[in-house]
Amino acid sequence: MDAIVVGAGFGGMYAVHKLNEMGLSVAGFEAGGDVGGVWYWNRYPGARCDLMCVDYSYGFSDALQQEWTWSEQFAAQPEILAYANFVADKLDLRRHFHFETRVTGATWDAEANNWIMITDRGDEIRATYCIMATGPLSIPKDPEFPGLETFEGEVLRAAKWPHTPVDFAGKRVGLVGTGSSGIQIVPVVAAQAAEFHVFQRTPSYTMPMRNTALDPDYVTELKRNYPAIRAVARASHLGGVRPVTSRPFFSITPSQRQRVMEDAWARGGLDFLGLFSDLLTNPEANEQVAEFVRGKIAATVNDPATAEALKPRGYPIFARRPCLDTGYYEAFNLPHVHLVDCIKHPIERVTAHGITTTAGTVALDTLIVATGYDGLSGALLAFEVAGRDGHTVREKWAGGARSYLGLMMAGFPNLFMLCGPNGPAALANIITLDEQNVNWICQLIDHMRTNSIASVEPQPAAEDAWMEQVFSLAELTLVSKANTWYVGANVDGKPRGLSMYTGGFFKYNETCTNVALRGYDTLRFA
Ligand code: N01
């Protein structure tokens, strides 16, 4: 093949489409049974995108965006998966993909100038270019406490939810993990279970989503304005149409600040992120906004001790991924919903019939695990990827993930990553970023084919300079100041550091574009 694409999420789907359109032979490999990536696997109750559909959808084809109609401001998992299927049908993508096929090894053959890919079905495929569309959040992480395999009830993982409905009625259910996934699960399971125990270690800040059905007139306007909306998204810091401001927190009076925050809380969504320009750089401003949210928790949760335990402290708001919820704090007012504070009483082990913390054992019929992912670097460390001279990604990343623009790595010719570590990754709208990444890679491949260039990789000095920029920008933001998957703190032994570019989508895109405009002077062609 000319190219192999690993992964059939939104990035992989667009890569296959674009490469095919350029006339390349393409084979896609996907461990899941169909397209959709994370939305194929994450079918947990309440799963929903906390970016608005207007952002979280492809902008490369006007035909697609005119034909598809979203029903809500923030779409639920079934609708997003239906959208991925709609795109796959329209673009006839499935014929290029091998589903239920996991890539288990990738090796660069320098003599033949191609990648040899091995799959769990025993295939061996060679291709000139390899595109890793493996996703920043595709390797789920089980908790470290022992005994999970001894539990005699049902264990459900948010990241690999069953495809058949799960009945919680009459059950004693436990949930471990209160990140974005756990917070979406809580209100839905709370409405069904007989007893529900939420095991919380680090409380997250969450704000009301206030999702709405989309009015037909709004949809008409949206469709009429898509070109401008996409242009605004591509010119923005986050790659989306969220509000932004140049107003620092302390530039207005306390009562004005209070009103601005109350309005944003009432509107819902991620408006909070765009309220003040210095939220992620000024710790004092950040703390005041955090305190506002703590006040809302106190006002919502009836039991003062539960409210207190739910209040996040000790790390900046928005340093963990901000969550949007529908009735999360309210769920703790139900008499059968119990918060277990795992900071005060850490989980010791799972037993045959429940969870034992230092305070005692909670009996459970069903245990939901929503303990996150080995983010950003996990997917390329999950199998052996060997580049020039047999050096592996595992060796290269032993001290932390390194790349050039989050797209390529010195020593790994013709290998590209989508939304890779050290790019904007999870800090930008991932579909805008996928499209930008694929367009840039395809333009480079086109340049190589036109000029009979066999292989490309970044110059080591260019990679070093990029990493230097990523690290120095990370120092300036509060995003690096919490123990999250953003900095690798959730995986034992993982090197610590914010391996994402924090300069914003627009700057990133500009940098990539300039590399191309300068004739790829930071790359090494052979
Ligand atoms: O995972 P997380 P997630 N004992 O890592 C807890 C995206 N996403 O799947 O922080 C007790 O955020 C852990 O506690 P702590 C989004 O980018 C998007 O929820 O380690 N608890 C934490 O509370 C998000 O950031 C959407 O102290 C343990 C939780 O498990 C990313 O996915 C929806 C534990 C893991 O939280 C990951 O979110 C959902 C233990 N031993 C997800 N080990 C959208 O809406 C771990 N935890 C688009």
What whole-number distance in Å separates Cα of residue 464 and Cα of residue 470? 10
Position of tokens 């918060």?
Answer: 339
**Which pLDDT belongs to residue 272?**
87
pLDDT tens readout for residues 308-338: 999 999 999 999 998 999 999 999 999 999 9
From ligand 1's centre to the CA of 321, what distance in Å? 9
pLDDT tens readout for residues 129-159: 999 999 999 999 989 899 999 999 999 999 9
Give the list of residues 6+ apart from residue 289 with CB closer than 8 angstroms, or none: 249, 261, 272, 275, 276, 279, 317
Reduced to 3 states, what is the DSSP secondary structure of residue 310?
A: helix
Q: Which atom of ligand 1 is nearest to the CA of 371?
A: 30
Q: Which atom of ligand 1 is nearest to the CA of 145?
A: 41
Q: Which atom of ligand 1 is nearest to the CA of 183?
A: 19
Instruction: Please state, in angstroms and as integers, the Cα–Cα distance from residue 118 to each residue in 135, 386, 523, 525, following that order.
Output: 19, 12, 28, 26
Nearest protein Cα to ligand 1, atom 3: 372
- Within 13 Å and on the Cβ side, how many CA atoms surround 352? 0
Q: What is the mean pLDDT of residues 98-126?
A: 97
What whole-number distance in Å separates Cα of residue 285 and Cα of residue 273? 12
Give the list of residues 6+ apart from residue 266 with CB closer than 8 angstroms, or none: none
For 12-74, where are the E strands, in sequence order?
Answer: 26-29
**Which pLDDT belongs to residue 271?**
85
Whether the predicted pLDDT of 300 surpasses 90: yes
Angle made by CA atoms 228, 64, 162, in degrees to the nearest 5: 115
Whether the predicted pLDDT of 191 surpasses 90: yes
Question: How large is the C-alpha radius of gyration of the chain?
Answer: 23
Any alpha helices (H) in 212-369, and if so which ranges?
Answer: 216-234, 254-267, 283-300, 304-310, 328-331
Angle made by CA atoms 14, 16, 22, in degrees to the nearest 5: 100
**Token pair of 2 as six digits:** 């000319």
101 and 120 Cβ atoms separated by less than 8 Å: yes
Distance, C-alpha 56 to centroid of its chain: 12
| Residue 165 CB-density burial (10 A; 0-12 exposed, 13-18 middle, 19+ buried) | exposed
Q: Is 205 in the pocket of ligand 1 (CB under 6 A)?
A: no
Position of tokens 């010791």?
Answer: 348
Q: What is the mean pLDDT of residues 85-94?
A: 98
pLDDT tens readout for residues 218-236: 999 999 999 999 999 999 9
Give the list of residues 6+ apart from residue 293 with CB closer than 8 angstroms, or none: 205, 207, 312, 317
From ligand 1's centre to the CA of 27, what distance in Å? 33
pLDDT tens readout for residues 192-206: 999 999 999 999 999
135 and 7 Cβ atoms separated by less than 8 Å: yes
From ligand 1's centre to the CA of 204, what distance in Å? 9
From ligand 1's centre to the CA of 182, what distance in Å? 7
For 419-459, where are the E strands, in sequence order?
Answer: 456-458
What whole-number distance in Å separates Cα of residue 195 and Cα of residue 507? 49
Q: Which atom of ligand 1 is nearest to the CA of 51?
A: 48
Nearest protein Cα to ligand 1, atom 40: 143
- Other CB atoms within 10 Å distance of the CB of residue 167: 9
295 and 257 Cβ atoms separated by less than 8 Å: no
From ligand 1's centre to the CA of 181, what distance in Å? 6
* Whole-number average pLDDT of the chain: 97
From ligand 1's centre to the CA of 91, what distance in Å? 34
Q: Is 321 in the pocket of ligand 1 (CB under 6 A)?
A: yes
Position of tokens 């979406």?
Answer: 184
